Amino acid sequence: MSVEHYENFPVASWLCPPALRPAVQAIYWFARTADDLADEGEASALERIAALEAYRHELLQVAGGQPPSPRWAAVFGPLAPVLARHRLPLPLLEDLLDAFEQDLRQHRYPDRAALLGYCRRSANPIGRLLLHLYGVNDARSLAQSDAICTALQLINFWQDLSIDLPRDRLYLPLSDCERFGLGVDQLMNRQDTPATRALIAEEVAWARSLMQQGAPLATRLPGRMGWELRLVVQGGLRILDKIAGLDHATLRQRPRLRAWDSPRLLWRAAWM
């Protein structure tokens, strides 16, 4: 399963215990389909919001024991038994839908607190859902999972500036932009300057700090789950290294992981 399409999801790879793969895949397809409703195709923002509202209604119906409708049977057919068997926390799934709707309504964030509020709904539920499947629910683990997932979301933002800005999505906090003397128009026009690179460098440092806060979770979790998370952490940190290698010029370029990064990721994961 690839995560290139839905980047915030740590995948059900061969490291995932076989017994949990159907559950992880069902959650993945739920999130990916909602992502498609919010982003893909030629529908207007109002049409996308209406589709997401219908999708939410379908989730609540299926969670209440109703059979899935034909429209999204491929999503809710596999998800229904997972909801029942694993007693998935429904608010976490609704948080994801809230975030997709927010992307259609809000394209600017005044400060880091507002951006973190978005990450709480767009990224953190994924980690919490996966921990729930593994029966991990202590406060320390949840907090570290939130730090990792928020860091992954921020890393994706700083990696994808050249993609998001043409879509009129500016995730750089406006208060941070102002401290570097940067206006919205400069950023939307993707003017690559020493000030923009300094701003992105600071945001990269923020994301790295969050990832380092959460990383100890990967070394505490046992077996395959721990190894999966080690690779997720190291993949995120490797993207930050690549951004730095571009001298933080991601207004113009998008770094990405390549096949030849795998040995480095494995080595770093082993030495965590």
What's the pLDDT score for residue 14?
55
Residue 6: left (phi > 0), alpha (psi -120 to 50), or beta? Answer: beta
Count H helices, E strands: the chain?
14, 0
- Ordered by where they begin, the domains of the chain are 14-91 (no CATH), 106-270 (1.10.600.10)
Sequence-ordered strand ranges (E) for the chain: none
What's the pLDDT score for residue 15?
63
Distance from C-alpha of 51 to C-alpha of 68, rounded to nearest angstrom? 16
Tens-digit pLDDT string for the chain (272 aa): 233 444 544 444 556 778 888 999 999 999 999 999 998 888 999 999 999 999 999 999 999 999 999 999 999 999 999 999 999 999 999 999 999 999 999 999 999 999 999 999 999 999 999 999 999 999 999 999 999 999 999 999 999 999 999 999 999 999 999 999 999 999 999 999 999 999 999 999 999 999 999 999 999 988 888 988 999 999 999 999 999 999 999 999 999 988 898 899 889 988 98
CA atoms within 13 A on the CB side of 137: 6
Burial class (CB in 10 A: 0-12, 13-18, 19+), 35: buried
Look at the pTM and tell me if it is higher than 0.85.
yes
What's the pLDDT score for residue 65?
93
